[in-house]
Structure 1
Amino acid sequence: MVKVEVKYTKLFINNEWVDAVSKKTFPTINPQDENVITNVAEGDKADIDIAVAAARKAFHRYSNWRTMDASRRGMLLLKLAELIESQARYLAELETLDCGKPVKIAEEEVYYSTSVLRYYAGKADKILGSTIPADGDVLSMTLKEPVGVCAQIIPWNYPIPMLSWKIAPALAAGCTVVLKPAEQTPLTALAIGALIKEAGFPPGVVNIVPGYGHTAGAALTHHPDVDKVAFTGSTEVGKLILGAAPVANLKRVTLELGGKSPLVVFNDADVEKAAQIAHAAAFANGGQCCCAGTRTYVQAGVYDQFVTKAAEIARNRCVGDPFDDVQQGPQIDKEMYNKVLSYIEAGRAEGARCVAGGGKLDRKGYYVQPTVFADVKDDMKIAREEIFGPVQSVFKFDTFEEVIDRANDTNYGLGAGVITNDITTALTFAKHVRAGSVWINTYDHVSSQTPFGGFKDSGLGRELGEDGINQYLEIKTVTVALPKIPLL
C-alpha cells in the first residue's frame, strides 16, 4: 500500500486550523484494511456556531469579499483550480486512502473537479440582471445578488467532485460557505482548505467543519444565520434537512439525493456495446453512485445474449488494492459492506438468478464481488431499493409502452438511459421517462455545463451549468419612478 502523508486533521475556520471546542476527535478508517488512518477534530454545535459567525462576518456588505470585483472572484477560483491541479496525485492518493476508490480514477476526478472550478470562474462576472418594460412611468430592472451564508454537506462517494460542485457556484455568486464533509472521508476536503487559503480567499469565506451528521450536520441545517442549505446524500437525510430548513428561518434548499435508475436496452442495440455501457452504469465507483443504472431492462429478443455477456464482463472486473491497476476497490465502510451483502442475499431469497459474483472477496477489507442478477421481478427488494453497491439487476421486457411504465415505477428520478439505434425510440423514451438526466447510447456523462438533479424523491433544484449558479442567487427588482411626460 502506498504511504500517504496526512497533513490536516483540524477544523478550518476563518482561514485558521483549530481544534474542536470540545477537543474531541473521531477516527477515519481505511476501507482497504479496516485500520484507523488518523483522528480528525470532531466539530459539533459550538464549532458550527463559530464557523457560521465567521462566514456571516465575511458576507458583511463592507467586507473584503463583498466589495471584491466579480472578476477577481473568478480569478481566485482559477487560482484554486491551478493549485488543486498541481497537487492532483497527492489528493488522489489521499482520496484513495480514505474512501478506497482506485487511485487512477481518483486522479481523473481531481482533474474533473478543476474543470468545474474553471467553469464557474468564468461565470463570476457574467451574472446579469434584466431591464423590464414595466407598466407605468417607471424604469424597472432586476439585480442578482448572492443568497448569503451557505451550509454545504457533501457525501463520501465523490468527495472532491462534490466539493467542487458545491463551493464553485457559491463562491462565483459571492456567497460564503460552511462545508461539512462526510465523516467517512474528511481528509481531502481539509487538504483543499489549505489550498483555498493559499489561493487568497479572505478569512471566513470558506470554512470546513468535519463531524457527524446528527451533531455538526444538524446544527448547520438548523442554524438561524444560514441562508441556504445544499446537500448531497441519501433521500432519508434529505427529507430531514428539508424539514429542518424552515425551523429557524425559511432557508433556500438544494438536495441531490438517491436513485434507482433504469437503463433500457432495445433489440436493435449492439449487445456487446450495450453490455459494456450497462456494466459501467451499474458498477462505476463500486456501485456507490446515486445515479447508477442498476435496473437494466433488456428487450426479450436479446435478453439471453445480454445476460451471458453481462455476467462475463462482471466476472472479469478487476477488484483489489485501489493503489494497484484495478477497476474497483473496497466499499466505503463496514456498514455499507454488510448492507450490500444483505441485498445480495435478499435477491437470492426472492428468486432472482445470480449469474456472477454473489458474495465477498476472500481478503481483508470491505471488498464485494461484482454481482449480476438475472430474471429480476419489479417487486423484488433488489428492484425497489437503492443498494449502493456493485449489484446489477437485469429485467426482461417486450414492448416500449411496457418498459416506460416499469422504468417510471419508482419513487426516484435521478437518471435514466436508453440504448437503441432508432432515434425515434430514443427521443420518445427521453420525453416520457421521469428523470433529471437521460443518456442515449451512453451513461452518466456529466459535465460542468449541463445541469444535474432529480425528479421525485431524488431531490430538489439543480447543480452544474447555468442552473447551478442560479441556486445561489436572489433576484431583486428595482423600480425607479420617471417624470411624467405630457401627452402631445
Structure 2
Amino acid sequence: MNIAAKIQDIFPSIDSIPLDFQLNHPIDQKEYLVDGKLEIWEGETEETFSPIYLKTSEGLVRHQIGQFPLLNQEAALSALEAAVKAYDNGRGKWPTMSVGQRIECLQDFAYRMKEKRGIVVNLLMWEIGKSYTDSCKEFDRTVDYIEDTIDALKNLDRVSSRFEISEGVIGQIRRAPLGVVLSMGPANYPLNETFTTLIPALIMGNTVIVKAPRPGVLLNYPLLEAFKEAFPPGVVNTIYGQGRLISPPLMESGKIDALAFIGTSRAANNLKKQHPKSHRLRSILGLEAKNPGIVLPHADLDLAVKECILGTLSYNGQRCTAIKILFVHTAIIDKFLEKFTTAVNNLKFGMPWEDNVFLTPIAEPGKPNYLQELVEDAKQHGAEVINEAGGMINETFFYPAILYPVNDKMKVYSVEQFGPVVPIVPFDDIETPINYLVKSDYGQQVSIFGQNTEAIAQLVDPLVNQVCRVNINSQCQRGPDTFPFTGRKDSAEGTLSVHDALRAFSIRTLVAAKDIDLNKRLISEMVREHKSNFLSTDFIL
C-alpha cells in the first residue's frame, strides 16, 4: 500500500483498538477546584472531541471523549478571591509555612499524581493525539520535574540558612513569594509545561489559579482530587472556559501578581495590557519561535538528517522548540534533499497507541487547513512539495509537506507554522541564515550542523547574541530541565529551568539588624526556639 492509500485508511474502527487504550466512557467533568472544594458547575459545558476519528457504518465519526465546564466571569473571580484569601497579603498559612512543610505537600501531591499515571497518559493520547511513548515521557518527565524542583529548593535553602554580618549589620537573605499567580499552559504540552510554572510557583509560597488549555483540559481532571488533598484550601484553584472571557476580569482586578503564560506573544501582550499596574506584574512567558537549522557544506549528512527529522517533525512539529526552517548549503543540497525525503517517507504514521508511531492526527482545530494554505502560498511563489503525498489531508491528519526552494516572498518563510510543514532554503553565503536570524522577530534557538571547527566557531559567537541556545549537530530542544530555557525578542520573557523558575516566582528578601547585643539576643532566641519560619538555620536534608 502506498503512502496516499495508507493516509486514506489511517483511522481505526473501535474494535481494532487494543483494550488497554480504549476510552469508551466520555468524561463528564462538572467539577472545578476552588478554595479547597470541588464545586459542581451547573452552567454551560463544552464537548471535547478527540483528533482521532473512528470508522463506523456511517463513515468516519470524530470520537467524543468528554465535556468540561465553561465557567463564566463570576466563577473565575471566585477562584481569584479564593487565591487572594489563601495568600492573605502574605499572612496566609501557605506563604508563611516553612520550606520543609511546603516540600512535604509537594511530595504528597507527587505520590498521589503517580497513582493517576495510566488514565492521564491515555487522555494525553486521546485528547491531543500524542503518541503513547511521548505521552508516557511527558507524564514521567513532569514527575521528575517535581522531584528535581524539590531538590533544587533544598539546595537553595541550604545556602540561605545562614546569617551574614557586614559593616556592623546582621542579615539573613531568603526568597519570599510574590503573591497570586495566574498559570496558563499550552495545548501541545498541557501537563508538563503547565507544571513547569505551576510547581515552582507553588513551592515558593505563592497561591495559584490554573487556566487549563483547550485542548488539554480533561487530562488534568484526574489530578483535581490530588490538588485538593495535598494543599491547603485556596492554594490551587482551577478555571476552565474561553480565555478571552474569563482571563480579562482576572487581570483587570489588579490582584494577579505574576502571569505565567505559554502561548503567543499577541495573547501575552493583551493579557499584560489589561493589568492596571503593569509595573507590579511579574511575567514569565514562553512564546513563539522560528528556530532555523543551518546545514553547512561539511556537515555529516546522516547525522544532520536524523536530527533535522526529530527537530522538524517530532510531535508533528507542534513544539515551540521545533526547527521551523532549514537553510542548506547549495554544495550539498541535492544529497540532503534525497536523504531527508527518504527519511520522511519512512516515518511511521498512524494512531498514538501504535508501536513506534511518529506522526499522528493534529488536535488543534482548523490546523490542517491552515497548513494547506501555507503550502499553497509557497507553491504560488515558486516552491514545490518534493515528497510523496506531501500535504495530503485526511480529516485531522496532515502528512508532512517538504517545501523547496523557499524564499522570503512566502508566508512560511517568516511565520511560525507550528505543524508538519518543512521549508528548506538553499544558500551560498553564510550571511543568508545569519541575516535571517538578525531580522527575525524571534530569538529562541538555532541548530548548526557541520564538522569544520573554525566555521562553527565563527557562527557560534554572533549567534549567541541573537538566540538563547545554539545547538551543535543536534536538534533544538528544551531539556534537560536543569538548563536555562528562554528566548530573545518575541520568544520569551523570563527564564525557566529547575533553578531559574524558583527565582522567577520569588523575590530576594532580607531581615536585617544592627550588630548589637539586644538584636543578637532576639535573633538567637527566634532561631533557637523556632519562632520564625523565615529566620531559620535549619538545614533540610
By the TM > 0.5 criterion, same fold? yes
Task: Tell me the residue number matched to 1:283.
Answer: 313
SS for the counterpart of 1:124 is helix
Task: Tell me the residue number matched to 2:537.
Answer: none
1:329 partner letter? T
Task: Tell me the residue number matched to 1:468.
Answer: 501
Task: Tell me the residue number matched to 2:70.
Answer: 42
Q: Which runs of 5+ in 2 are unaligned?
A: 1-16, 54-61, 518-541
Tell me, in whole angstroms, the C-alpha distance in 2 between the residues paired with 1:64 and 1:137: 34
Task: Tell me the residue number matched to 1:86.
Answer: 115
Could you list the per-position Cα deviations for residues 329-350 of structure 1 after superposition, in whole angstroms to 9, with x for gaps in the alignment?
1111332222112111112112
Instruction: Report matched runs for 1:25-36 at 5 Å.
Output: 25-33=45-53, 34-36=62-64
SS for the counterpart of 2:338 is helix
Greater Cα shift, 159-168 or 63-72: 63-72
Instruction: Report matched runs for 1:246-257 at 5 Å.
Output: 246-247=276-277, 250-257=280-287
> Root-mean-square deviation (CA), in Å?
2.3
2:22 partner letter? K
Does 2:480 match 1:447? yes
Instruction: Report matched runs for 1:321-470 at 5 Å.
Output: 321-325=351-355, 326-356=357-387, 357-362=389-394, 365-433=395-463, 434-443=466-475, 444-470=477-503
SS for the counterpart of 2:447 is strand
Instruction: Report matched runs for 1:172-211 at 5 Å.
Output: 172-198=203-229, 200-211=230-241
Could you list the per-position Cα deviations for residues 176-196 of structure 1 after superposition, in whole angstroms to 9, with x for gaps in the alignment?
110101122201222222222
Instruction: Report matched runs for 1:217-366 at 5 Å.
Output: 217-247=247-277, 250-325=280-355, 326-356=357-387, 357-362=389-394, 365-366=395-396
SS for the counterpart of 2:210 is strand
Q: CA separation of 1:423/1:44 partners in 2, compared to 1, >3 Å: closer, same or farther? A: farther
Deviation at 1:403, TM superposition (A): 2.7
1:359 partner letter? G
Deviation at 1:478, TM superposition (A): 4.0
SS for the counterpart of 1:245 is coil
> Structure 1 length as normaliser, TM-score?
0.91
Tell me, in whole angstroms, the C-alpha distance in 2 between the residues paired with 1:67 and 1:7: 37
Asked whether the equivalents of residues 29 and 35 of structure 1 are also in contact (C-alpha less than 8 Å), the reply is yes
Asked whether the equivalents of residues 415 and 438 of structure 1 are also in contact (C-alpha less than 8 Å), the reply is yes
Tell me, in whole angstroms, the C-alpha distance in 2 between the residues paired with 1:242 and 1:425: 42
SS for the counterpart of 1:179 is strand
Task: Tell me the residue number matched to 2:4.
Answer: none
Asked whether the equivalents of residues 297 and 331 of structure 2 are also in contact (C-alpha less than 8 Å), the reply is yes
Q: Which runs of 5+ in 1 are unaligned?
A: none
Tell me, in whole angstroms, the C-alpha distance in 1 between the residues paired with 2:35 and 2:453: 53
Asked whether the equivalents of residues 284 and 504 of structure 2 are also in contact (C-alpha less than 8 Å), the reply is yes
Greater Cα shift, 110-119 or 317-326: 317-326
Could you list the per-position Cα deviations for residues 108-133 of structure 1 after superposition, in whole angstroms to 9, with x for gaps in the alignment?
11111111111111133424559777
Q: How many residues align?
A: 479
1:39 partner letter? Q
Greater Cα shift, 220-229 or 56-65: 56-65
Tell me, in whole angstroms, the C-alpha distance in 2 between the residues paired with 1:74 and 1:447: 22
Task: Tell me the residue number matched to 2:35.
Answer: 14
Task: Tell me the residue number matched to 1:74.
Answer: 103
Tell me, in whole angstroms, the C-alpha distance in 2 between the residues paired with 1:333 and 1:155: 11
Asked whether the equivalents of residues 163 and 189 of structure 1 are also in contact (C-alpha less than 8 Å), the reply is no
Asked whether the equivalents of residues 26 and 39 of structure 1 are also in contact (C-alpha less than 8 Å), the reply is yes
Deviation at 1:261, TM superposition (A): 0.7
SS for the counterpart of 2:386 is strand
* Equivalent residue for 1:63, pick from 86, 92, 107: 92
SS for the counterpart of 2:509 is strand
Asked whether the equivalents of residues 66 and 218 of structure 2 are also in contact (C-alpha less than 8 Å), the reply is no
Tell me, in whole angstroms, the C-alpha distance in 2 between the residues paired with 1:307 and 1:246: 52
Q: CA separation of 1:425/1:206 partners in 2, compared to 1, >3 Å: closer, same or farther? A: farther
Tell me, in whole angstroms, the C-alpha distance in 2 between the residues paired with 1:62 and 1:245: 24
Greater Cα shift, 265-274 or 437-446: 437-446
* Equivalent residue for 2:125, pick from 96, 108, 111: 96
* Equivalent residue for 1:144, pick from 163, 167, 175: 175
Asked whether the equivalents of residues 8 and 191 of structure 1 are also in contact (C-alpha less than 8 Å), the reply is no
Deviation at 1:298, TM superposition (A): 1.2
Deviation at 1:370, TM superposition (A): 1.1
Task: State the structure with more CA Rg.
Answer: 2
Tell me, in whole angstroms, the C-alpha distance in 2 between the residues paired with 1:244 and 1:293: 33
Asked whether the equivalents of residues 116 and 223 of structure 2 are also in contact (C-alpha less than 8 Å), the reply is no
Q: CA separation of 1:7/1:144 partners in 2, compared to 1, >3 Å: closer, same or farther? A: same
Could you list the per-position Cα deviations for residues 56-99 of structure 1 after superposition, in whole angstroms to 9, with x for gaps in the alignment?
22223453323432123223323333333333232111111111
Could you list the per-position Cα deviations for residues 386-436 of structure 1 after superposition, in whole angstroms to 9, with x for gaps in the alignment?
111101111112243443222333101122111122344434433322122
Asked whether the equivalents of residues 411 and 457 of structure 1 are also in contact (C-alpha less than 8 Å), the reply is yes
Tell me, in whole angstroms, the C-alpha distance in 2 between the residues paired with 1:9 and 1:408: 48
Does 2:153 match 1:124? yes
Deviation at 1:140, TM superposition (A): 4.9
Asked whether the equivalents of residues 189 and 208 of structure 1 are also in contact (C-alpha less than 8 Å), the reply is no
Deviation at 1:314, TM superposition (A): 1.6
Could you list the per-position Cα deviations for residues 291-320 of structure 1 after superposition, in whole angstroms to 9, with x for gaps in the alignment?
210111112221111111111122222222
Does 2:17 match 1:3? no
Deviation at 1:452, TM superposition (A): 0.8
Deviation at 1:13, TM superposition (A): 1.6
Asked whether the equivalents of residues 86 and 94 of structure 2 are also in contact (C-alpha less than 8 Å), the reply is yes
SS for the counterpart of 2:121 is helix
Q: CA separation of 1:131/1:298 partners in 2, compared to 1, >3 Å: closer, same or farther? A: farther
Could you list the per-position Cα deviations for residues 279-301 of structure 1 after superposition, in whole angstroms to 9, with x for gaps in the alignment?
11111111111121011111222
Q: CA separation of 1:221/1:358 partners in 2, compared to 1, >3 Å: closer, same or farther? A: farther
Q: CA separation of 1:423/1:14 partners in 2, compared to 1, >3 Å: closer, same or farther? A: farther
SS for the counterpart of 2:398 is coil
Greater Cα shift, 54-63 or 445-454: 54-63
> Structure 2 length as normaliser, TM-score?
0.83
Asked whether the equivalents of residues 152 and 498 of structure 2 are also in contact (C-alpha less than 8 Å), the reply is no
Deviation at 1:106, TM superposition (A): 0.8
Task: Tell me the residue number matched to 2:190.
Answer: 159
